[in-house]
Chains A and B, each alone.
Chain A
Amino acid sequence: MEIGISVFMIIGIVFIVVGSVGVLRFPDVYTRLHSCGLISTLGVGSLALSCFIFFLKDGAISIKALIFLVFTILTTPVSTHLIGRASLKSVPLWEKSTANELERDVMDN
């Protein structure tokens, strides 16, 4: 039991540290959003899963950690998509980006 909690916590921490270094180091908004989603989904989700395993013997308390996990996994793609959508009009792409498939969709709006 304790090994499972530790393993999931270490997995979450590794994803969080790697994702935050990516947020610092990537050159563009659209590439930074990728690692932002990594932090929110896999990192905090693994922490919630370790909390779920820790409270598994208490019954109903562990459901709250599961609720947090499901809520985070459901709302992170929505907020990431909204941030990308909001930055399409104002922020230009990185100069080494090769494809801009969404340009005609922005022109329609």
Chain B
Amino acid sequence: MLEVVIYLSLIALSISILILLVRLIRGPSVPDRIMAADSILLLVGGVSLILSVKYGSDFYIDIAILVGVVAFVGTVALTKFIIKGRVIDGDRD
């Protein structure tokens, strides 16, 4: 039963990543693309979580944690670049 659920989950995650890729390519504004890229990276983390259940190995969870951190930091950097024009500034607020 678990094998069937795992394969169905992988297929559904692939379809979701393709749908988000359509939004990433077609998105009319820049925040749409940032949002789609963030969601795609988190779904790649979800794929590696499912693979860790499938193979019974714990190294895939490390990949998921790393991808989640990279997604968050990339989103914060891109949005700060949109808002202020530069990523690191000297303001204290």
Contacts and interface: CB of A to CB of B under 8 A. Distances in A.
Contacts, number: 149
Interface residues of A, number: 49
B9 A39 contact: no
Dominant secondary structure of chain B at its interface with chain A: helix
Dominant secondary structure of chain A at its interface with chain B: helix
Interface of B: 1-2, 5-6, 8-9, 12-13, 15-17, 19-20, 22-23, 29-32, 34-36, 38-39, 42-43, 45-46, 49-50, 52-53, 58, 61-62, 64-65, 68-69, 71-72, 75-76, 79-80, 82-83
Contact of B20 (A23, A51, A67, A79): A23
Interface of A: 2-3, 5-6, 9-10, 12-13, 16-17, 19-21, 23-24, 29, 32-33, 36, 39-40, 43-44, 47-48, 50-51, 54-55, 58, 61, 64-65, 67-68, 71-72, 75, 78-79, 82-87, 89-91
